Chains A and B, each alone.
Chain A
Amino acid sequence: MQQDNGGRALAASTTERLIAVVVLGLGALFFGFGLFEYGFWQNKGPGSGFFPTIFGAGAMFCGLSRLRIHRITSESLSTASLRPVALAALAVFAGYGVGLVAALSIAVAAWMRFIGGERTPLSLIIGASFFLFVYLVFWRWLGINFDFGLLGRLVEGGAR
């Protein structure tokens, strides 16, 4: 059982069964669409549904096998591990408003300060460095066009 870093844990059996159900469900979806919608065999050869049907059936078999096995080998899922997901999702949502890079930089600093317990100046420096790195490497050098979000568009509209 893995160490829980402050959060609660989802039982190992649930994690194992959840994955088996996802594998089974995805297998069934791809198998069904592959066989009945996209065509298994067309023009003397495999059709668009050939791979989804064959490998969908394989996935269903694997999912079913794991559901039937009672010996659980997985570890429990700690809810503490899901904190970065929540923070990243929050930052991505905020990115629609203030722009992705700015929102991520704030999230990096906030994580360090409030979850990591680092000192405020260090958190701010790392957050600013992150912004600078993305700006220089991805934006200026590689020419990735990051969206400034609603705020950016408002500023741009005001400037015009």
Chain B
Amino acid sequence: MEVLSLLLNGFSVSLQPFALLAALGGAVLGILIGAIPGLGSVTAIALLLPLTFGMDPNVAIIMLTAVYFGCVFGGAYSAILMNIPGDTPAVMTALDGYPMSRKGQGGKALFTANLSSFIGGTIGIVILTFIGPSLATFGLRFGPAETALLILFALSSIGWLLGEDAIKGMASTFLGVLLATVGIGMTFGTQRFSFGTMELINGVSFIPLVIGMFGFAQVLEMAAGVYSAKKPARQIGLRESLLSRSDIARILPTSIRSGFLGTFVGVLPGAGATTAAFLAYILQRKVGRNGEEMGTGVVEGVAAAESGNNAAAAASFAPLLSLGIPGSGTSAVLLGGFMMWGLQPGPLLFTMQPDFVWGLISSMYVGNLVAILAGIAVIPFLMRILWVRQQILIPIIAGICVVAAYSSGGSMLDVWLMLGFGVFAYMMKLAGYPAAPLVLAFVLTPKLESSIRQSFDISNGHVGIFFSSYICIALLSLMGIMIVGLAASSLRKRRHDG
């Protein structure tokens, strides 16, 4: 009951007219920034943080929270409409969202993304409200060994599950890991595979990679005329894009399941929304009703990724508020904001600054609600993109890909890399290699590498650390079960094929 009264107090701040206006402005801005390829929530909050210097901290945090939620919503839009993920977790959304657009169900995919983002976000916020601090403490049990095994579990499953050929999925995963090792090694500071190129000392940038692999590869596919025959015969109206009762019945269980999983992953320090979206998608594929159809453009694929992503985004506030440990890049930037406003996140924040903490948590409810309303309001405009002729879309998307790649680091090498990745991804696609494992492995590898090294440092070189806790044993068992299960199903398939 005490929590509820504190939350109501928080709402008395976040529902003030000026605060609501800040939330609305923040949500719209977040959606716009999130939808621009290459600009994620970290950039958005970093850009807007200086503007909040003179603001009341409560209003400032309400606005930034709405920006954050808006970005997470908006990241899906470019993934669905153009196959260019606005941010990393949206890589998973693109897997089913874009095929839905190609089938003339782009509007439905957008509505699904909005609804499941809202459900996932709400689950994450409600859990944060009631058991956030204890969940954050549980998250701390995930030391380097547990984190390494969790990422290994995710990596080992994604290569197998995406695409039809396990070898091709694994090859894509391995290439992603290898690309991520370019640049200075975190442990010993060794320069790896930069071959004297100054621009490669910090490694391959993520943004040119993801834009090339998804956006530019898509441009090449469109230019080849692959989709000209598959274009919807007529323009699909807004009314036909609304979710039917049966759609909602398919989306709800997926979103709820993914929301809980996303919340759990979101509180783990450093695991982030990408891992959450990724595991939610895998879980859906394994246990969902339409698991086999995922990747071909089904609402469950969009719902799983978006709900997991948003739940993790909300849950990442738990370690930030209660322990002072940022759970994601965005919450790390917000931590800087807290300090700027004279607040010190940690166990004492809940008791020393209850107005601020509960104002923030209540603003997450408001931000989530405002973001879905703003998101639904822009769908009719977004759907017009689907009606634009491909001969107009191709040069515009290609131009945006080049500009976004350049903007990521102000380097022409990034542009050339983006073009190279685009051609390679297109050829991979023709040869049946899935691109998503490469991108996801690229994102997860730095954390995996540092976690493995830290584990050996802690254990003084003993491999036993990977069997030392019940979490490790559980993760290893899951990996074992999955590998045996996949091997058995592969054998069955081979026998069946003769």
Is chain B a partner of chain A in the same complex? yes
Asked whether, in the complex, the Cβ of B416 is within 8 Å of the Cβ of A92, the reply is yes
On chain B, the residues within 8 Å of A95 by CB distance are 412
On chain A, the residues within 8 Å of B221 by CB distance are 81
Asked whether, in the complex, the Cβ of B419 is within 8 Å of the Cβ of A59, the reply is no
Q: Known: A55-B178, A126-B392. Is A33-B192 also a contact (CB below 8 A)? A: yes
Asked whether, in the complex, the Cβ of B391 is within 8 Å of the Cβ of A118, the reply is yes
Asked whether, in the complex, the Cβ of A115 is within 8 Å of the Cβ of B423, the reply is no
The answer to the question of A97 belonging to the interface, with a C-beta cut-off of 8 Å to chain B, is no
Asked whether, in the complex, the Cβ of A30 is within 8 Å of the Cβ of B178, the reply is yes
Total residues of chain B contacting the partner, CB 8 A: 65
The answer to the question of B460 belonging to the interface, with a C-beta cut-off of 8 Å to chain A, is yes
On chain A, the residues within 8 Å of B406 by CB distance are 100, 144, 146
Least Cβ–Cβ distance between A73 and chain B, in angstroms: 5
Q: Known: A55-B174, A84-B219, A92-B402. Is A44-B456 also a contact (CB below 8 A)? A: yes
Q: Known: A30-B181, A42-B188, A81-B221. Is A116-B167 also a contact (CB below 8 A)? A: no
The answer to the question of B235 belonging to the interface, with a C-beta cut-off of 8 Å to chain A, is no
Least Cβ–Cβ distance between A123 and chain B, in angstroms: 9
On chain A, the residues within 8 Å of B449 by CB distance are 46, 50-51
Asked whether, in the complex, the Cβ of A73 is within 8 Å of the Cβ of B174, the reply is no
A16 to B427, CA, bound (A): 8
On chain A, the residues within 8 Å of B229 by CB distance are 3
User: Closest B-chain residue to A108, C-beta based?
Assistant: B395
Q: Known: A45-B461, A52-B181. Is A137-B431 also a contact (CB below 8 A)? A: no
Asked whether, in the complex, the Cβ of A80 is within 8 Å of the Cβ of B224, the reply is yes
Q: Known: A47-B188, A66-B167, A83-B223. Is A104-B178 also a contact (CB below 8 A)? A: no
Asked whether, in the complex, the Cβ of B181 is within 8 Å of the Cβ of A51, the reply is yes
The answer to the question of A132 belonging to the interface, with a C-beta cut-off of 8 Å to chain B, is no
On chain B, the residues within 8 Å of A154 by CB distance are none
Least Cβ–Cβ distance between B26 and chain A, in angstroms: 16
On chain B, the residues within 8 Å of A33 by CB distance are 192-193
A52 to B456, CA, bound (A): 18
Asked whether, in the complex, the Cβ of A104 is within 8 Å of the Cβ of B403, the reply is yes
Interface string of A20-41 (1 = CB under 8 A from B): 0011001101100110001100
On chain B, the residues within 8 Å of A18 by CB distance are 427, 431
The answer to the question of B171 belonging to the interface, with a C-beta cut-off of 8 Å to chain A, is yes
The answer to the question of B47 belonging to the interface, with a C-beta cut-off of 8 Å to chain A, is yes
Asked whether, in the complex, the Cβ of A52 is within 8 Å of the Cβ of B174, the reply is no
Asked whether, in the complex, the Cβ of A142 is within 8 Å of the Cβ of B407, the reply is yes
Asked whether, in the complex, the Cβ of B171 is within 8 Å of the Cβ of A23, the reply is yes
In chain B between 416 and 448, which residues have their CB closer than 8 angstroms to a CB of chain A?
Answer: 416, 419, 422-424, 426-428, 430-433, 445
On chain A, the residues within 8 Å of B220 by CB distance are 81-82, 84-85
Least Cβ–Cβ distance between A69 and chain B, in angstroms: 8
Asked whether, in the complex, the Cβ of B423 is within 8 Å of the Cβ of A85, the reply is yes
A56 to B173, CA, bound (A): 11
Asked whether, in the complex, the Cβ of B445 is within 8 Å of the Cβ of A51, the reply is yes
On chain B, the residues within 8 Å of A112 by CB distance are 391-392, 395
On chain B, the residues within 8 Å of A101 by CB distance are 403
On chain A, the residues within 8 Å of B391 by CB distance are 111-112, 115-118
Asked whether, in the complex, the Cβ of A55 is within 8 Å of the Cβ of B177, the reply is yes
Asked whether, in the complex, the Cβ of B178 is within 8 Å of the Cβ of A81, the reply is no
Q: Is the interface of B mostly helix, strand, loop or mixed?
A: helix
Asked whether, in the complex, the Cβ of B427 is within 8 Å of the Cβ of A19, the reply is yes
Residue picked from B406, B422, B428, most chain A C-beta under 10 Å: B406
A27 to B426, CA, bound (A): 20
Q: Known: A26-B175, A111-B395. Is A88-B419 also a contact (CB below 8 A)? A: yes
Q: Known: A62-B174, A116-B392, A130-B396. Is A84-B193 also a contact (CB below 8 A)? A: no
Asked whether, in the complex, the Cβ of A75 is within 8 Å of the Cβ of B430, the reply is yes
The answer to the question of B228 belonging to the interface, with a C-beta cut-off of 8 Å to chain A, is yes
The answer to the question of B102 belonging to the interface, with a C-beta cut-off of 8 Å to chain A, is no
User: Closest A-chain residue to B171, C-beta based?
Assistant: A62
Asked whether, in the complex, the Cβ of A107 is within 8 Å of the Cβ of B165, the reply is no
On chain A, the residues within 8 Å of B460 by CB distance are 44
User: Closest B-chain residue to A92, C-beta based?
Assistant: B415
Least Cβ–Cβ distance between B430 and chain A, in angstroms: 5
In chain B between 9 and 27, which residues have their CB closer than 8 angstroms to a CB of chain A?
Answer: none
On chain B, the residues within 8 Å of A59 by CB distance are 171, 174-175, 178
Q: Given B178, B402, B407, which contacts A88 in the complex, CB threshold below 8 Å?
A: B402
A77 to B177, CA, bound (A): 26
In chain A between 73 and 129, which residues have their CB closer than 8 angstroms to a CB of chain B?
Answer: 73-78, 80-85, 87-89, 91-92, 95-96, 100-101, 104-105, 107-108, 111-112, 115-118, 126
On chain B, the residues within 8 Å of A83 by CB distance are 223
The answer to the question of B185 belonging to the interface, with a C-beta cut-off of 8 Å to chain A, is yes
Asked whether, in the complex, the Cβ of B392 is within 8 Å of the Cβ of A142, the reply is no
Asked whether, in the complex, the Cβ of A118 is within 8 Å of the Cβ of B178, the reply is no
The answer to the question of B399 belonging to the interface, with a C-beta cut-off of 8 Å to chain A, is yes
On chain B, the residues within 8 Å of A52 by CB distance are 178, 181, 192-193
A116 to B398, CA, bound (A): 14
A70 to B113, CA, bound (A): 41
Q: Given A85, A117, A146, which contacts B422 in the complex, CB threshold below 8 Å?
A: A85
Asked whether, in the complex, the Cβ of B224 is within 8 Å of the Cβ of A4, the reply is yes
Q: Given A55-B178, A85-B422, A111-B391, 14 other A-B contacts at CB below 8 A?
A: A2-B224, A3-B228, A18-B431, A19-B431, A33-B192, A49-B192, A52-B178, A56-B178, A65-B167, A85-B423, A88-B398, A88-B419, A112-B395, A144-B410
User: Can you list 25 residue pairs at the A/B interface with Cβ under 8 Å?
Assistant: A16-B431, A16-B432, A19-B433, A26-B178, A30-B181, A44-B461, A45-B187, A46-B456, A48-B185, A49-B192, A56-B178, A59-B171, A62-B170, A74-B430, A80-B225, A84-B219, A84-B398, A85-B422, A111-B391, A112-B392, A126-B392, A130-B396, A134-B403, A137-B36, A142-B407
